[in-house]
């Protein structure tokens, strides 16, 4: 008895549809990509009940002839590739020819389309992969696709859909990505007959970002660019105050396609180095254009992943562009509007129409490019032996004395290490320290790094070491205890794999332990000296852990808060 048999065309279509159309947002993605590939300058998307009941996509693209409209419902029918070589030169968003065939096999689909030169349009209808009808009709130039009852022909798949709110949220997020990757295209979204947004066409990327996220975010972005013969990286990285606890605000586009790539996301975060706290993630938008032969987009049916021929070159390009953008901006305090951590950086799917782009942004404390030394800060007092109050012609400033001094020490230690200068302070008497098994092994394995930052630790038998010198600044701070705690903390983090670069962690911890502490009383000359050091230190607005070291209140803001100025 034969056990193997051929599947029916209907079953094959529904299996293939399951790979392409995972949820309503997948159908919207396929249809909007077709609209963009058709040269549309305006795209309208309407959804009802999270897209499960209705999806309608209308564009002003080139449209189709009657013959093409009928063929568009066939599996693997496309105008975008014709030969195997074309598969390695893909510049369109779609290319597999699966969109309408997949959607048509699991829903009722009506396609209306007309080319500008044609007097009559074409209407094609398919229901559950069957009964394709094609007839003339009157319609505007461009294409309209109406999808009703998505997954109605595959009830087993439909029961796995999430709530209407969740499914709509995926559609909303998808259209934000599309709008960012194609700012020259106008996008309109309607949800259950209510307009959610209507983005104008012919915007540049900065204008589109401002429209979607507001002026506070747009003004806190730093432009980046990198270009060589076959590769161009452009876009923005957000200043440290835009960093968030998740990766939601990380946008990566390759040849106009929204993709996910952990390696390139890591490259941006590494460029921030010590400007961010470990649990924070930078805000960035990268638009990468490269020769299609150098990237494989045919990796997954949903096309969210790509493979680069030279991933390391891509990493270096992104890292260098982001690092250059950050390096060109000296962060120091001025007051501006910033969206706080608890407020979405752009409207969420749950936002009402009136809230979307009109939410009032209240003044918050932030940082923007400017030289601290240009502000001519003058210390006034110390609060709780922890914070320095200072003023300038621009306003009032509060300085976290520990964070500020930690950054100063970090920069000095780094510079001395790079120049191979001595930062050691010899102790009057060598101290015996028991580092334990793990600590002793760590010091032995990374002895050159400890020496580079000013530690002189000599083996003294077993787990015992002789401490002969410490970095300048630690000699008066119980060096035996501090070195033991430092090695212990480093060992713990290294064991938990929480440290990717031990040298960097050693530098950061050394700077921290030798810095002025909370509770240390400072004289006026000492406060003046710290501010003077900050003026000469790059990135003095953040400590090496990424925490802010200085905040500001402009006189304009103070006058407003005391009701001395009307706005």
Tell me, what CATH number does 148's domain have?
A: 3.30.565.10
What are the φ and ψ backbone dihedral angles of 317, each rounded to 5 degrees?
-65, -45
Buried b (16+ CB within 10 A) or exposed e, 412-436: bbbebbeeeeebbbebeeeeebebe
- Give the CATH number of the domain where residue 312 resides: 3.30.230.10
Same domain, 241 and 298: yes
146: its two tokens: 């109406």
Q: Are 326 and 242 in contact (CB under 8 A)?
A: no
- Given a contact cutoff of 8 angstroms between Cβ atoms, the answer to whether 460 and 435 are in contact is no
Q: Are residues 420 and 538 in the same domain?
A: yes
Asked if residue 164 is part of any domain, the answer here is yes
295 is a domain residue: yes
The Cα 390–Cα 392 span in angstroms is: 7
Do residues 302 and 388 share a domain? no
CA distance 413 to 415: 5
Q: Is residue 214 part of a domain?
A: no
CATH of the domain at 379: 3.30.1540.20
Quote the number of domains for the chain. Answer: 3
Asked if 187 and 127 sit in the same domain, the reply is yes
Q: Are residues 391 and 457 in the same domain?
A: yes
293 inside domain = yes
Boundary residue ending a domain (335, 365, 383) = 335
- Are 193 and 261 contained in the same domain? no
The distance of Cα 521 from the centroid of its chain, to the nearest Å, equals: 41
CA distance 290 to 230: 6
- Two structure tokens written together for 286: 């990268």
Cα separation, 120 vs 122, whole angstroms: 7
DSSP letter string over 274-317? TSS-TT-B--EEEEEEE-GGGEE-TTSTT----EETTHHHHHHH
Residue 537 parent element (H or E): none
Tell me: do 435 and 545 sit in the same domain. Answer: yes
Instruction: Tell me which residue range forms the domain holding 245.
Output: 220-335
Q: Are residues 412 and 495 in the same domain?
A: yes
Which residues sit opposite 390 in a β-bridge? 379, 397
Q: Are 185 and 283 in a shared domain?
A: no
Q: Which two tokens stand for residue 423?
A: 């930062």
Q: How far apart are the C-alpha atoms of 238 and 222, rounded to whole Å? A: 6
Helix (H) or strand (E) holding 519: none
Domain boundary pick from 335, 359, 391: 335
Residue 357 lies in a domain: no
* Domain match, 408 and 291 both: no
Q: Which of 335, 359, 387 is the last residue of a domain?
A: 335
Question: Is residue 226 within 8 Å of residue 237, measured between CB atoms?
Answer: no
Same domain, 235 and 195: no
Per-residue pLDDT of the chain (567 residues; tens, 9 = 90+): 666 656 565 555 554 544 568 899 999 999 999 999 999 999 999 999 999 999 999 999 999 999 989 888 887 666 655 566 655 666 677 656 677 888 988 899 999 999 999 999 999 999 988 888 999 999 999 999 999 999 888 777 777 788 888 899 899 989 999 999 999 999 999 999 999 999 999 999 999 998 888 887 888 899 999 998 889 999 999 988 888 878 888 999 999 989 989 999 999 998 887 788 767 889 999 999 998 888 887 666 566 778 888 889 999 999 999 988 987 654 444 333 334 443 444 444 544 333 333 333 323 333 333 334 445 789 999 999 999 999 998 889 999 999 999 999 999 888 888 888 877 889 888 999 888 777 888 888 888 888 888 889 999 988 889 999 998 878 777 888 888 878 877 776 665 544 456 778 888 888 888 899 888 999 999 999 999 999 888 888 888 888 889 998 888 888 888 887 654
Tokens at 465, concatenated: 């070491």
One domain for residues 536 and 417: yes
**211 falls within a domain:** no
| Position 355 in a domain | no
Determine, yes or no, domain membership for 359: no
């Amino acid at each position: 008895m034969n056990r193997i048999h051929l599947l029916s065309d209907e079953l094959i279509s529904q299996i293939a549809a399951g790979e392409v159309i995972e949820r309503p947002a997948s159908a919207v993605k396929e249809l909007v990509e077709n609209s963009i590939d058709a040269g549309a300058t305006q795209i309208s998307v309407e959804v009802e009940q999270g897209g499960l009941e209705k999806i309608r996509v209308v564009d002003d693209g080139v449209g189709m002839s009657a013959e093409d409209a009928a063929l568009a419902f066939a599996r693997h029918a496309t105008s975008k590739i014709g030969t195997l070589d074309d598969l390695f030169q893909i510049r369109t968003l779609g290319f597999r020819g699966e969109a309408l065939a997949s959607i048509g096999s699991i829903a009722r689909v009506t396609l209306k389309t007309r080319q500008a030169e044609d007097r009559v349009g074409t209407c094609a209808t398919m229901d559950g992969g069957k009964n394709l009808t094609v007839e003339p009709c009157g319609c505007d130039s461009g294409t309209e696709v109406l999808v009703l009852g998505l997954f109605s022909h595959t009830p087993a798949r439909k029961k796995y859909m999430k709530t209407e709110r969740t499914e709509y949220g995926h559609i909303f997020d998808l259209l934000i990505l599309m709008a960012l990757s194609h700012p020259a295209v106008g996008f309109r979204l309607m949800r259950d007959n209510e307009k959610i947004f209507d983005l104008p066409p012919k915007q540049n990327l900065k204008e589109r970002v401002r429209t979607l996220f507001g002026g506070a975010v747009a003004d806190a972005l730093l432009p980046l660019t990198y270009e060589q013969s076959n590769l161009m990286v452009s876009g923005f990285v957000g200043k440290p105050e835009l960093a968030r606890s998740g990766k939601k605000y990380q946008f990566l586009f390759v040849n106009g396609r929204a993709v996910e790539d952990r390696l390139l996301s890591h490259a941006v975060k590494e460029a921030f180095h010590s400007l961010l706290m470990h649990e924070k993630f930078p805000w960035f938008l990268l638009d990468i254009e490269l020769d299609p032969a150098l990237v494989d987009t045919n990796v997954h049916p949903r096309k969210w992943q790509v493979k680069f021929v030279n991933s390391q070159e891509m990493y270096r390009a992104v890292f260098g562009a982001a690092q250059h953008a950050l390096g060109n901006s000296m962060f120091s305090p001025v007051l501006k509007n910033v969206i706080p951590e608890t407020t979405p950086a752009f409207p969420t799917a749950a936002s009402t129409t009136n809230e979307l782009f009109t939410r009032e942004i209240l003044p918050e404390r932030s940082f923007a490019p400017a030289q601290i030394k240009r502000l001519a800060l003058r210390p006034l007092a110390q609060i709780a032996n922890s914070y320095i109050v200072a003023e300038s012609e621009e306003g009032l400033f509060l300085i976290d004395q520990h964070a500020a001094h930690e950054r100063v020490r970090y920069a000095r230690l780094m510079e001395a290490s790079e120049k191979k200068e001595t930062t050691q302070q010899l102790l009057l008497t060598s101290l015996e320290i028991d580092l334990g098994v793990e600590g002793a092994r760590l010091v032995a394995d990374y002895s050159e790094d400890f020496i580079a930052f000013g530690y002189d630790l000599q083996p003294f038998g077993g787990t015992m070491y002789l401490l002969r010198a410490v970095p300048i600044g630690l000699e008066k701070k119980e060096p035996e205890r501090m070195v033991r705690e430092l090695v212990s903390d480093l060992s713990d983090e290294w064991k938990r794999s929480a440290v990717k670069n031990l040298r960097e962690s050693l530098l950061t911890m050394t700077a921290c332990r030798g810095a002025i502490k909370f509770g240390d009383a400072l004289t006026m000359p000492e406060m003046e000296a710290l501010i003077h050091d900050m003026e000469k230190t790059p990135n003095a607005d953040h400590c090496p852990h990424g925490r802010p070291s200085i905040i500001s209140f402009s006189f304009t803001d103070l006058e407003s808060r005391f009701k001395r100025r009307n706005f």
